[in-house]
Structure formats: C-alpha cells, structure tokens
Chains A and B, each alone.
Chain A
C-alpha cells in the first residue's frame, strides 16, 4: 500500500486515538506498580524508616501489610479456600457477577427515578421547592445505616435479597442523575422556550421536542457517576444482607482474614474496582453511540442546588 507521504511529513509519529487511551492507561498502571514495589523495597531496605532519618514510614512494608504484586496476582490463581479446588479468580468473578446484577438493576431503577424526578421538578416548581431539600438530605444519610432497614423491609415484603440490595444501590444512583438532568432540562435558552410558546406547543411537546433532547448530553456524565455509585451501593447493601455470595461478602470475609492472607483482600478490591470501571465503560460506549461528538459534555458540571 502506498501511503500519501505528504500527510505525515514533518509531523511526529502519532498513534490512533483509541490506542493512545490504551497506552496511557497501561503506562499509569505500570507507574503505580513500580511505585508500590519501590516503596516496599525501600521500607524493607531501611527497616521501615525514610532513608537517612529515623522517621517511620506511614505504612508498613512487610508481606503481611503490602504483599508483592506478583503474590496478589498469584493468589488469584490459587484455590480460594484451603482444600477447595475453585481458584480465587473464579470465586471473585462469580461474586462480581452476582453483585453486578444488583448494581445494574439499582442503576436502572435509580437513574429512571432520578430522571423522572427531574421532569417532575421542572413541571412543578412547588414540588421542586418542597422536595429538593430532602433529595439533598437523602445523600447525607449514611448508606450503611439505611442498608439493614431496606434488607429487613424487603425481606418482610417478600423481595429476593438481591433485589433489596438493588434498592440500596439505586439510592446512590438517583441523586447525580436527578441533579444533572434538572440542569440539562433547563439548558435551552429562554428564546427556545419562547419559540415553542409562539407555536402554541403543549407542555408535553416542549418536553419531548426541546427539553429532553437538550438534557441528553447532561445525562451521560451523571450516568457514569451513577454506574460507579451503583457498584459501591450494591457492595454496601450486601454487607448486612447475610448473603453467602457477592463482592460485599467476599470483601468482608477476606478483611477478617487479612492478617493471614492479605493477597485475597487486595484481589477482591481489584475485582470490585474493575467491575466499576467496566460499568462506566459500558455507559461511555452507549454515550458514544447516542450523542454526536460535538454535543458530548466531557465533565460533569458543578452541582447547582
């Protein structure tokens, strides 16, 4: 194949954009790994103090507190339980799948509820004025306090436990979606609203033809936050639920055996954050398909309350 030479003349070699993301991501992972291992090596060499001083390091560097990265990776491929034959990675993947089900359901319910709430608020200033303080206050109540109640109430109502967990997860999701959707629904300029009024458009037409399309670019950054929040919410929801599966359960039991097998807890943390990252990736993919590039909003605008 003959490449048009003039195109690249005098310009430094550049990777296509999607590879650039992968390369920079990998570089950061490598840098973090190097940082971890060098800190550990330094501590081991100096006996736990900053070089040339007698000041202690903030985190101990022995294998109990900071296992080698390769030990963490190796632990993923060893049996999860002594005497068992299922390796830790498979156990964690199963746990992640279980948690993802609750997180995804929570994400759907929470985001839909948040968007619905935003629509209600722009239609009814009274509802907004009356309820907005509670919406904000809802996020200051510690989730860990609500979770047991929801699990108990859900049990009494005959909900399967994973669904009760989904409800807890949705509690974290609805807030960023509601706040950002509200902002997006209000984003059209006053003249656009006047224009619709001059066409004698019904409120429903204003909503579907003006406000909702205008809100979509604002929705996706909020959905990305909701995606990570949904995983966190599901994990926290699993803690009081007394489940024998799920990432919450795995984190809890590996935390209790941290002093004897720290790699397992680090492995579980790794898988939990990977789940969140994957979920955000899915939302980003949906955004890429649905919102033209020039309308995408890179960052979430500050919360205006």
Chain B
C-alpha cells in the first residue's frame, strides 16, 4: 500500500498495426501524489494520450505495471475511480444537459431524485445553473466542455483524467476554464492528470509537469512548478511564472533539436 494516487512502474506500450509495431511508450516510471495536479506535455506522437489511457485502463500496457490507489488500473476502473474529459465534449446529443450529467449516475444505479439533485449541484459548480433543460447543441463550445467536466465529477471520482480538454477553445474561454478547474480541484481534492500541448497552460495549472519526448515516448524530465497556490489571474504576470514557462520550453527544446 502506497500513498500515491497513481504509480507507473517501467511501463511500455507497443501497438501492433498492419504497418508493423509502433513503440508508443518506453519505460515510463512516475508516481502521482494524492491531490496533485500533474501535466503531460510533449509534441504530438509522444504518447501522452496513450499514457492517460493506460492509467484509465482504456489500454493495457505491453510491459510494466500501473497501480492506482494500491489497486490494479482495471480494479480502479471497476470501482469508478476515474472521471474522464476529452478534447471534444462527447456529450450525447439526444440527452438534455442535466441528463448528460446524470448518465454516469444512471449507470451506477443512483436513484432518480438523487441523480437530479446531484446534476443540479454539479452544474452549479461549473456555473451552468439554468441550462439543465437545454440540448448540448444549444450551448457554446466552452459551455459544452463545462458540462462534460460536470459529468466527469458527478460520481466523485478520485482521479480526473483530462485529455487536452481546452484544446478546441478560444484563448479567453480557455483561461477562464483553467481558473475553474483549479477552483474545482481545490473544492474536491481530486487528483488531476492533464494532457496538453500548451506550455503556459501546463505551467499555470500544474504542481509538476512531465515533459515527454517522442518515438518511443519517454519522460524526458519532470519539472516542479514553484508557484504559490492558489494560482490567480496575476500569476500569469509573475516573473516566476515566466521562469516556469521558460524551463518547460527549454526542456522541450532539448530533444526537438535532434528531430
């Protein structure tokens, strides 16, 4: 038993495809602390999304071991430890907003009244009170993504896996959503693993940033972000923030030179 939320030990992932085998991840070892916000950053093809899917038991590693709160990844999934948010909100278009948030609760057998009140609570958390009876297509992209965050948090998972959740949003919406996610994390204490390809985003949000290099995907460096918490609007103007951004950028450049 460890007090780590997630532990990856010597994890490798090889995909067998028609065009031969692809070495997506090689010898990944990292521990994620409980309640930590960790970002995975790297150029496309570095396997950061694959790594997220290994943690969430959507993929099974070729080698190595993934432990989640002392359990196997599979057991953790069956125990509903994971909330997932993708780049596309993936809302079910035939369900109203509230019914989308209720979907996981429905599958977990929560009684209807409890589901409804929980959905209201979650929508309030992402600032969408009053939109319960709208259909997803009636909402803006940022609002849709907030619904998908509300849905991911509805069943109180201990770990939130986010795969470029703000990648399709405009810069202003994006910054507001970043603040909201930090706010939510503060309230719920959820551990967050966050895949991004935005350097400032990773620096602003994270306790640590894992910089990954491609082909095969490896963790090149893990950078501690020493910025005071809570992060606020002014954090982005803090010289320490620029220093953190620079550090991540330098680390990314280290292997880009050899491409």
Contact = CB atoms under 8 A, between A and B. Distances in A.
B82 A198 contact: yes
A205 B107 CA distance: 7
Given A195-B84, A198-B56, A214-B92, 12 more contacts: A189-B90, A191-B86, A191-B88, A194-B58, A197-B57, A197-B58, A198-B84, A199-B104, A200-B77, A216-B94, A292-B94, A294-B93
Given A197-B58, A198-B56, A199-B80, A210 B92 contact: yes
Interface string A183-204: 0000001011011111111000
Interface string B74-92: 0001101011101010101
A205 B109 CA distance: 12
Nearest to B82: A198
B106 A209 contact: yes
A209 B94 contact: no
Contacts of B84: 194-195, 198
Contacts, number: 55
8 contacts: A191-B86, A192-B92, A197-B58, A198-B82, A198-B161, A209-B92, A210-B92, A216-B94
Q: Give the interface size bracket for B toward A.
A: 20 to 34
A199 B58 CA distance: 11
A192 B104 contact: no
Contacts of B18: none
Interface residues of A, number: 20
Contact of B103 (A197, A200, A209): A209
Given A191-B88, A209-B106, A294-B137, A197 B77 contact: yes
Contacts of B77: 197-198, 200
B92 A199 contact: no
B257 interface: no
Contacts of B94: 213-214, 216, 292, 295
Interface of B: 53, 56-58, 77-78, 80, 82-84, 86, 88, 90, 92-94, 103-104, 106-108, 135, 137, 155, 161
A199 B107 contact: yes
Contacts of B86: 191, 194-195
A229 B166 CA distance: 48
A5 B237 CA distance: 55
Contacts of A194: 53, 56, 58, 84, 86
A303 B71 CA distance: 45
A3 to B, nearest CB: 29
Contact of A201 (B83, B107, B135): B107
B106 to A, nearest CB: 7
A214 B135 CA distance: 15
Contacts of A294: 93, 135, 137
A194 B86 CA distance: 10
Interface string A208-223: 0110011010000000
Contacts of A189: 88, 90
A214 B53 CA distance: 24
Nearest to A200: B78
A272 B43 CA distance: 63
Contacts of B90: 189, 191-192, 195
Contact of A295 (B83, B93, B103): B93
A161 B205 CA distance: 73
A189 B93 CA distance: 12
